[in-house]
């Protein structure tokens, strides 16, 4: 949260995910009233950066939420799913009786999540957004579709929020751009203590897929719905197109991943593929939305 005493701007508004002791932090009240925050700026759509927005809006936030055009389309998809999961978790806890709260309540509901959409305002990369005494600007961060680093300027002082950063050589998303010089940097550190391996996705996947298909098997790949699913589908398409794999049917079994994949066509300027390449790569995938078909 940035404040100059008069205006308050919140950078990202995520959920804690993972271990229970981390998730419990989602239930703590914020140190500031949501109604006193003037604007939110969002680096990207992932839930650990956007997932608290439904609670923020429900609890009184009435300002704009600035994000890039792909994020504006992605956020409602991810939040609706998150709201549904919160409700399912509460229902499950009530049925099994393992919560100490009676009844266990969801952190927020699917309806709360749907109310976020109308506060989202899309702004492209390299465009100044006037937030009163603050100005903010998105630059490509190379992470997922529409992900941005954020420079916020206040009276000549520049604050840079890296957001999650991607790699230079990702197959679908262009590399991060060098941001303008800054006085303060707030940096993500997910891979700060590790080296990425040089392993090639297509090569590794091709090897496993050939071995599995060769013995009449079915290759199942668990993948995150946003970003990873599309990268894997594209790799599979290239392997089939290049004759490295036989023409086997490819299924995408996730309503959320299906919705996200369709956004790649709409936001072709935000990734490396042309609209035609998207249609080629994703068009042949058979989409499975229902649980019944997924089980068959």
DSSP helix/strand/coil, 133: coil
Task: Give the torsion through C-alpha atoms of 232, 233, 234, 235, to 10 deg.
Answer: 50
User: Which CB sits closer to Zn ion, 46 or 72?
Assistant: 46
What residue ranges in 54-189 does DSSP mark as E strands?
Answer: 65-67, 120-122, 129-131, 134-140, 148-154, 157-161, 184-186
DSSP element (H, E) containing 2: strand 2-3
Q: How far is the CB of 43 from Zn ion (least distance, A)?
A: 8
> 172 and 282 in contact (C-beta within 8 Å)?
no
User: Judged by CB under 5 A, which stretch of 7-15, 159-167, 194-202, 257-265 contacts Zn ion?
Assistant: 159-167
User: Judged by CB under 5 A, which stretch of 41-49, 175-183, 268-276, 285-293 contacts Zn ion?
Assistant: 41-49
User: Which CB sits closer to Zn ion, 110 or 164?
Assistant: 164
Q: Within 10 Å of residue 286's Cβ, how many Cβ atoms? A: 10
171 Cβ contact list (under 8 Å, min separation 6):
201, 202, 231, 234, 235, 272
> 92 and 101 in contact (C-beta within 8 Å)?
no
Q: How far is the CB of 294 from Zn ion (least distance, A)?
A: 26
Q: How far is the CB of 147 from Zn ion (least distance, A)?
A: 7
User: Judged by CB under 5 A, which stretch of 15-23, 44-52, 66-74, 116-124 contacts Zn ion?
Assistant: 44-52
User: Judged by CB under 5 A, which stretch of 33-41, 42-50, 100-108, 115-123 contacts Zn ion?
Assistant: 42-50
Would you count residue 8 as binding Zn ion (CB under 5 A)?
no
Q: How far is the CB of 119 from Zn ion (least distance, A)?
A: 21
User: Which CB sits closer to Zn ion, 139 or 164?
Assistant: 164
270 Cβ contact list (under 8 Å, min separation 6):
68, 69, 70, 145, 146, 173
**One symbol per residue from 234 to 273: x for binding Zn ion (CB under 5 A), - otherwise; what is it?**
----------------------------------------
Backbone angles phi, psi at 148, to 5 degrees: -135, 150
Q: Which of 46, 72, 137, 271 binds Zn ion (CB under 5 A)?
A: 46
Instruction: Please tell me what DSSP assigns to residue 269.
Output: G
Q: How far is the CB of 64 from Zn ion (least distance, A)?
A: 22
Q: Which of 164, 170, 206, 259 binds Zn ion (CB under 5 A)?
A: 164
User: Judged by CB under 5 A, which stretch of 21-29, 164-172, 213-221, 224-232 contacts Zn ion?
Assistant: 164-172
User: Which CB sits closer to Zn ion, 10 or 245?
Assistant: 10
User: Which CB sits closer to Zn ion, 87 or 164?
Assistant: 164
C-alpha closest to that of 77 among 252, 224, 257: 257
CA atoms of 217 and 211, how far apart (whole Å): 9
Binding residues for Zn ion (CB under 5 A)? 46, 164
């Amino acid at each position: 949260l940035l404040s100059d005493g008069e205006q308050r701007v919140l950078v990202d508004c995520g959920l804690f995910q993972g271990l229970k002791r981390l998730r419990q932090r989602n239930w703590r009240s914020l140190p500031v009233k949501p109604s006193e925050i003037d604007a939110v700026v969002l680096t990207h759509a992932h839930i650990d950066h956007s997932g608290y927005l439904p609670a923020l809006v429900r609890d009184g936030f009435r300002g704009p939420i600035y994000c890039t055009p792909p994020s504006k389309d992605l956020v409602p998809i991810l939040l609706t799913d998150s709201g549904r999961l919160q409700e399912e978790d509460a229902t499950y806890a009530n049925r099994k009786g393992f919560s100490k709260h009676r009844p266990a309540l969801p952190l927020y509901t699917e309806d709360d999540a749907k109310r976020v959409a109308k506060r989202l305002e899309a702004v492209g990369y390299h465009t100044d957004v006037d937030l009163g005494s603050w100005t903010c600007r998105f630059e490509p961060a190379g992470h997922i579709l529409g992900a941005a680093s954020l420079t916020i300027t206040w009276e000549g002082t520049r604050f840079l929020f890296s957001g999650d950063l991607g790699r230079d050589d990702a197959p679908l998303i262009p590399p991060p751009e060098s941001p303008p010089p800054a006085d303060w940097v707030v940096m993500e550190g997910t891979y700060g203590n590790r080296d990425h391996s040089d392993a090639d996705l297509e090569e590794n996947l091709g090897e496993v897929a050939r071995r599995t298909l060769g013995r009449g098997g079915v290759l199942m790949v668990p993948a995150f719905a946003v970003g990873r699913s599309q990268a894997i589908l594209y790799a599979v398409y290239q392997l089939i197109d290049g004759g490295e794999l036989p023409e086997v049917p490819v299924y995408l079994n996730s309503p959320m991943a299906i919705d996200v994949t369709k956004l790649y066509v709409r936001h072709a300027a935000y990734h490396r593929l042309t609209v035609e390449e998207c249609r080629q790569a994703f068009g042949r995938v058979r989409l499975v939305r229902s649980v019944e078909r997924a089980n068959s």
